[in-house]
Amino acid sequence: MKSATAKIGLVVWLTLVISAGILFPMVAAPQKWYELPIIPGLEEKARIIFFHVPMAWTTVVAFIASTIYGIRFLMTKNLDYDLRSVSAAGLGTMFCILATVTGSIWAKFNWGSFWNWDPRETSIFVLLLIYGAYFALRSAVDVEEKRATLSAVYSIIAGVTVPFFIFVMPRIMTGLHPGSKGDPQGAGPVVQFKMAPNMLLVFLSSLLGFTLLYFWMFNLKVRASRLEFHSQQPQE
């Protein structure tokens, strides 16, 4: 995400996706290309999939990126990879908090309470604790090399748990969240990508847009961290 054209393209893309996600009408029998079908049990509340799921997806991308940069740091001992690893983990945590908050608001209207300790809610809470501990670990070590090595090892262990907490655990346990084991709609239209084609298009466009937005934010965060790192080095 370096050229201005790409950034403006992303802005236009996501603005269209946001507008479509909010404004496309939901009707019982869609006739026109922009009409979305009503998902039983979700109705208008189904619109959250265009925002909440991409946020959770971006969390996964960021945490996996943090793990990969952690591995690369351990292989090369290049501190720039540590900067990238912590930047990715920071953004991942931010997207994770956003996914949790949007999910919680949705839960209030769909399940009647902001927090129900549903397997999906519990798993994302544990994931937040795991990455909270990552930042606690970093803040506890003053020596740069040692901090980078310890947090790289931790980011690998944390990264291994991400697919389990996001994709596996909520699907093997009975819960309220669409896609849980025992969901009355099977795995659910969202989880199995059995959405109507126009809904799927908006959803996949949103996934792509959020992923690209993450790469832009990651680029900015890494560049800002590098400047901060260089400003802390003793001047020759």
Partner 1 sequence: MLDFLAEHQLYIVMIIVLMIWAGFLVYLFRLDGRISKLEQSVKK
Binding site for partner 1 (CB under 8 A): 7, 11, 14-15, 18-19, 22-23, 216-217, 220, 223-224, 227, 230
* Residue 192 neighbours by CB under 8 Å, 6+ apart: 186
Q: Whose Cβ is closer to partner 1: residue 125's or residue 229's?
A: 229
Q: How far is the CB of 200 from partner 1 (least distance, A)?
A: 21
Q: How far is the CB of 62 from partner 1 (least distance, A)?
A: 16
Q: What is d(CA 37, CA 30) in angstroms, rounded to the nearest whole number?
A: 6
Q: Measured over all CA atoms, what is the biggest interatomic distance in the chain, rounded to whole angstroms?
A: 71
Q: How far is the CB of 219 from partner 1 (least distance, A)?
A: 9
Q: Whose Cβ is closer to partner 1: residue 110's or residue 151's?
A: 110
Q: How far is the CB of 208 from partner 1 (least distance, A)?
A: 17
Q: Whose Cβ is closer to partner 1: residue 19's or residue 174's?
A: 19
Q: How far is the CB of 221 from partner 1 (least distance, A)?
A: 9
126 close to 135: Cβ distance less than 8 angstroms = no
Distances 169 to 85, 150, 177 between C-alpha atoms, Å = 25, 27, 12
Terminal-residue alpha carbon distance, the chain: 33
User: DSSP letter string over 122-171?
Assistant: HHHHHHHHHHHHHHHHHHH--SHHHHHHHHHHHHHHHHHHHHIIIIIHHH
Q: Whose Cβ is closer to partner 1: residue 89's or residue 217's?
A: 217
Q: Whose Cβ is closer to partner 1: residue 168's or residue 224's?
A: 224
